[in-house]
A = this chain, B = another copy of it.
């Protein structure tokens, strides 16, 4: 034990200099950041300060690893002890949640601010006060960040600076509102999403935005080409068609340009051609040529360019993330090795690190993680082994069960029954019988719905077919749960889906039985049972699996889109609130869409109902729906022209800008889906394994065998050196080993497969190249360290990097 006591870390933590451990005992070498222990210092004091020094190192190593995981740049790494305390304060889930809630609150305020959703309207002083409070919170968060980063780094961090500026403006405006007791034209509210984007939890959104901005330059170049052709054709169109008096689309150059812009989106297509076409049939050539060039060629070119950029960006992003993680691991490794054994991390140090990095992880899992890293079998982890840190850190450990089934331990008769059920539910026949039932159910629903042409009666009586099919599904779920055991059953996404659909159907039945109106919608979800049919074919399984895999990323893209929506909604509300109403736009070309009047056609009187007044900017929810309609593009010019006729010509700029912005985002979404699918297909082709393989569904699995002696040794080690740890998990392991009666036990660590794992496999060869390139440009930290002993500059550049 005494041997270990004097084992000082090779490199001291940056925070360490502030503490007595250095001033008192070691001579702190300020140039090289290395603590040289004073030989012959008094034992207890040395041990105490050694302990402290190690703790500091563990903490900093954990911070490095966290930074590597979150892709935080190292120049924001805390550099001193009080920076550390601010860092720790600002880096925990409570703080993150506060940050997120404040940002969400600020955004939600627009529900109750001046053009408010009627049921959520708040008094001016109420919402202004709420806003001020939220802004104070944001200011407090910024102060913490300032304290942690230091003024110099704070100024250099662009995002934070923008946030500070926006905060300042919002603050002043909120005070002005509070003083005047009325909202003025507050377009700056459109900047509120910045607070949301800056949240720790919005990392994915930030990545998307970065990707969008990276794709912009080539996008804009092609966009210019598009607009250029548009202008040329507008001049042509004006020259050709302006003599036609009944053609409202080309009577001025401005109208001509607007018509062709709308035609680009096809939203006014045959209509824009019709007046010219009715006069001269050959005029259709103009429109066919225009659409062929613009819509079918240049628009696809846009997609091609974005797709290509996207492809490159995705790979580069993966590369830089990978290298950043590697560098983080190297930094951490340097802080964990000791002076006596400078090329290995022992279990003790690893456990110390984990206490900071994953405070909730128990000693057993920590030991198993260490063992799974430690492939050489030595007592120390080398840097090469430690590089795989991020691959094993997310593993969930479990002892491999000796038996196959959950009912193995039950009495024999019961076992046989369960075994029978197990065999039944695993049989192909059972599966196909269920598919058949679902298919029959599908046809039944279709026929039933088709017969039922008034759509009202079905809510009153429960049809018997509903009960029959539900009973079958219920029995299936019951059999499967008992046959496979709940753990195995719920581990499959498809089973979860079956289960929840069945449960919802039961709830619907109850709703029907007790006649609860608002829950009828559950009954309506019945057809979703049919989705189960898609399990039959491999390709559909792949598609749906990929769909679920893509879901997080899609959600973040959706969120990004919503952020754009929010900004546009605010601007729209400020300028166009309460502008359109029934019969508002009788002077415009789209009057029909807003007209709500009894009119006489021939000699009949009919109610003509134009609903477009509903597509307005009267509150934020309506604005969102209107913007979604604009995103879908069809008939968007009706909304545009309606509002333009009530305001000025410049309103068109708003709609055109919105179209272009959504076009960018949508193109990127398309490029993303394309990329993700093509990637997966290439992956499965390269690795010659079907993606929906049952083996594959389990994700990543690591195996670690633990012998009895090893377990006892570890327990012993923990007992002696790491007194403050909770040892129950390790004791449990030893007990399990004894119970099973074998000399060793295999533990399985599982985690789900991420895109990063697929990329690792796809780019295998390139990754090795990158590593080489990386290690030649950045010196190995080992070498850096040795060099730093001689040249202080080298160390300085390293720490900035």
Contacts and interface: CB of A to CB of B under 8 A. Distances in A.
A609 interface: yes
Contact of A625 (B225, B284, B305, B674): B284
A612 B242 CA distance: 21
Contacts of A450: 253-254
A648 interface: no
A242 B275 CA distance: 37
A621 B670 contact: no
B275 A611 contact: yes
Given A456-B243, A599-B600, A677-B305, A449 B614 contact: no
B252 A453 contact: yes
Interface stretch (A171-179, A522-530, A754-762): A522-530
Interface in A358-393: none
Interface stretch (A5-13, A23-31, A229-237): A229-237
A597 interface: yes
Contacts of A232: 527-528, 530-531
Contacts of A231: 446, 527
Chain A's interface size range is 35 or more
A633 interface: yes
A136 interface: no
Contact of A225 (B238, B297, B534, B611): B534
A300 interface: yes
A291 B239 contact: no
Given A242-B455, A253-B450, A609-B246, A301 B673 contact: yes
A556 to B, nearest CB: 14
A269 interface: yes
A455 B634 contact: no
- Among A239, A254, A266, chain B packs the most CB atoms within 10 A around the CB of A239
B621 A281 contact: yes
A291 B222 contact: no
Interface stretch (A106-114, A424-432, A536-544, A650-658): A536-544
A449 B238 CA distance: 8
A411 interface: no
Contact of A530 (B221, B228, B614): B228
Contacts of A458: 239
Contact of A614 (B267, B277, B533, B628): B277
A510 B693 CA distance: 73
Contacts of A449: 235, 238-239, 253
Contact of A524 (B236, B453, B523): B236
Nearest to A229: B531
A303 B300 CA distance: 12
A315 B252 CA distance: 50
Given A629-B269, A635-B270, A221 B278 contact: no
A76 interface: no
A445 interface: yes
A279 to B, nearest CB: 11
A288 interface: yes
Contact of A269 (B304, B530, B634, B682): B634
A659 to B, nearest CB: 14
Given A304-B677, A611-B271, A614-B274, A537 B296 contact: no
Interface string A577-605: 00000000000000010010101111000
Contacts of A632: 266, 269-270, 291, 295
Contacts of A445: 235
Given A271-B611, A595-B601, A266 B677 contact: no
A222 B222 CA distance: 31
- Among A295, A300, A537, chain B packs the most CB atoms within 10 A around the CB of A300
A308 B673 CA distance: 12
Given A239-B449, A601-B597, A304 B527 contact: no
A718 interface: no
Nearest to A600: B600
A282 to B, nearest CB: 10
Nearest to A218: B539
Nearest to A546: B301
A366 to B, nearest CB: 42
Contacts of A296: 666, 669
Contacts of A773: none
A554 B523 CA distance: 50
Contacts of A221: 537, 539-540
A639 B270 CA distance: 10
Interface string A723-766: 00000000000000000000000000000000000000000000
Contacts of A211: none
Contacts of A669: 296, 300
Contacts of A524: 236, 239-240
Interface in A281-310: 281, 284, 288, 291, 295-297, 300-301, 303-305, 307-308
Given A236-B527, A599-B601, A602-B597, A678 B308 contact: yes
A554 B218 CA distance: 23
Contacts of A446: 231, 235, 253
23 contacts: A235-B445, A235-B449, A236-B524, A238-B449, A238-B455, A242-B456, A246-B609, A253-B446, A253-B450, A266-B634, A270-B612, A270-B635, A274-B611, A277-B611, A288-B628, A296-B666, A297-B547, A300-B670, A301-B677, A307-B674, A307-B678, A308-B678, A311-B678
Given A236-B524, A267-B634, A295-B632, 9 more contacts: A225-B543, A238-B455, A239-B455, A251-B455, A270-B635, A277-B625, A291-B632, A303-B670, A600-B600
| Top 5 closest pairs, chain A to chain B, by CB | A242-B455, A274-B611, A304-B677, A269-B634, A266-B634
